[in-house]
Amino acid sequence: MNYENLTLHTDKYQINMMYAHWAQGSLNERAVFEVYFRKLPFGNGFAVAAGLERVIAYIEGLRFGEEEIAYLKEQEENYSEEFLQLLREFRFTGNMDAVPEGTIVFPNEPLVRVEARVFEAQLVETALLNFVNFQTLIATKASRIKQVAGDDVLLEFGTRRAQEADAAIWGARAAYIAGFHATSNMRCGMLFGIPTKGTHAHAWVQGHATEEEAFRKYAEVLPDQVTLLVDTYDTLRSGVPNAIRIGHMLEQQGKRMNAIRLDSGDLAYLSQRARAMLDEAGLPYVKIVASNDLDENIIFNLKAQGARIDTWGVGTQLITAGDQPSLGGVYKLVAREEDGAFIPVIKISGNPEKVSTPGIKEVYRIINRKTGMADGDYIALREEEGVKRGEPIQLHDPLHPYIPTIIKDYEAVSLLRNIFRDGKLVYTMPSLGEIRDYHKQQMHQFWPQYLRKLNPETYRVNISVAAWQLKLDLIKRYREQ
């Protein structure tokens, strides 16, 4: 079994549509799809884009091998030999643009744009959404945790509770982009170069006759990274006093104990008491790590209670995005080729939020030249030149169309980058460290009211007057039909 080939990591209907396009002779018509989400997760004021590295690897690896072909043949007798032969030769030959990982993004903004033969563009929908939705969700959750943790150290501990192996490693990578410092997952460390950190489990303590013996044996062999889990029996009466003994033992060897870890009970109270005990024992440098079903709300509360915690180990709630386990990103057709030219298309819905915005679009971040801060985002049709030249633009807010805002002194930063051109990768993927730094810089471009965890201000995302007019025109045309 080949677990590596992701070409059939798609919904059956995509293959059926590919077959139908082939059978009807429309397979080579070009189409443009855009990926966007409609609603921010967790009540957050922004999202953190992630998933592009995985998307690039997926696109480059697209191949229907003999195993895939044999399976398709067995699944559907209509799939003719000629169609299957075409799949054997299948390569992605289209264009793709995407916002770089770590970018702050908002609802309705194109995050990925695919312009390709419809035969190719249709196949990739499912996998693209799978990668971008999950990784953007986890990066956004991690960003919320980072907001409350400030300069404290954040460790990603989620693998055992993640929705399987891929989610564990790509989720840990997304968390690192958003500011986590390390992961406990060694494969993730090896694959992506993320720092790895680890303490020890209760089993290490339970597996010895006494807690003190367990601590001593651990410290003897790993003297430079001793973090002792102190809550197996009784945190304040046994765990911390035993850890202090080990701290003193290490000092005699000219070493310093790293930390203790609290994993149950009242973390505010226990951390304050443990801090006092360590300080009194002359071990003020020994740090305190906390874990146990933490999330941004508990961390915020613990800090408000004066908890003395230096390092937070966060697992389940982060890696599963416990309070909102999916991001609703979609992949919508915005233009299709007719007689050699693109024509915009729309999806109408009874739900106004679900009516798509037709046409091939660009998204610009409007940076105020005086403050250097982001004033809003501007979605315009690709052919609109004014914004690229810095000409005055009118922001159109569909909810308040009667208040036109004209912006003049701005810098428009185009968010979409060229990733593939005619199937060729033209993007140099930044290193993970560069992505993390870029994300940090991005956060500094936004006023705090857009970033706060609770009830953030809504950041302005407006569409150009031309894009809005096109939408109205197409709605009218379909109504008349």
Ligand X SMILES: O=C(O)c1cccnc1
Ligand Y SMILES: Nc1ncnc2c1ncn2[C@@H]1O[C@H](COP(=O)(O)OP(=O)(O)OP(=O)(O)O)[C@@H](O)[C@H]1O
Least Å from the CB of residue 207 to ligand PRP: 14
Return the number of other C-beta atoms located less than 10 Å from residue 341's C-beta.
8
Residue 184 binding target from ligand X, ligand PRP, ligand Y, none, CB below 5 to 8 Å by type: ligand X
Binding mask 264-293 for ligand Y (x = CB under 6 A): xxxxx-----------------------xx
The backbone torsions φ and ψ at residue 301, rounded to the nearest 5 degrees and listed phi first, read -65, -45
Residue 314 binding target from ligand PRP, ligand Y, ligand X, none, CB below 5 to 8 Å by type: ligand PRP
Q: Does 157 bind ligand PRP (CB under 6 A)?
A: yes
Dmax (CA) for the chain in angstroms is 87
Residue 199 binding target from ligand PRP, ligand X, ligand Y, none, CB below 5 to 8 Å by type: ligand X
Q: Which of 15, 145, 205, 294 binds ligand Y (CB under 6 A)?
A: 294
Q: Which of 189, 313, 329, 376 binds ligand X (CB under 6 A)?
A: 313
Q: Which of 45, 315, 358, 359 binds ligand X (CB under 6 A)?
A: 315
DSSP 43: G
Q: Which of 28, 206, 301, 418 binds ligand Y (CB under 6 A)?
A: 301
Question: 425 CB contacts (<8 Å, ≥6 apart)?
Answer: 56, 60, 419
Q: Does 323 bind ligand Y (CB under 6 A)?
A: no
Q: Which of residues 280-309 bind ligand PRP (CB under 6 A)?
A: 291-294
* Under 8 Å between Cβ of 232 and 211: yes
Q: Does 41 bind ligand X (CB under 6 A)?
A: no
Which two tokens mark 213? 């013996």
Nearest by Cα to 46 from 454, 478, 468, 450: 450
Sign of the dihedral defined by the CA atoms of residues 464, 329, 61, 17, in that order: negative
* Under 8 Å between Cβ of 420 and 58: no
How far apart CA 43 and CA 455 sit, in angstroms, is 7
How far apart CA 302 and CA 300 sit, in angstroms, is 6
Binding mask 188-227 for ligand X (x = CB under 6 A): ----------xx----------------------------
Binding window for ligand Y (CB under 6 A); candidates: 238-246, 258-266, 319-327, 471-479: 258-266
* Under 8 Å between Cβ of 331 and 340: no
Catalog residues that contact ligand X under the rule CB under 6 A. 157, 184, 198-199, 261, 291, 313, 315
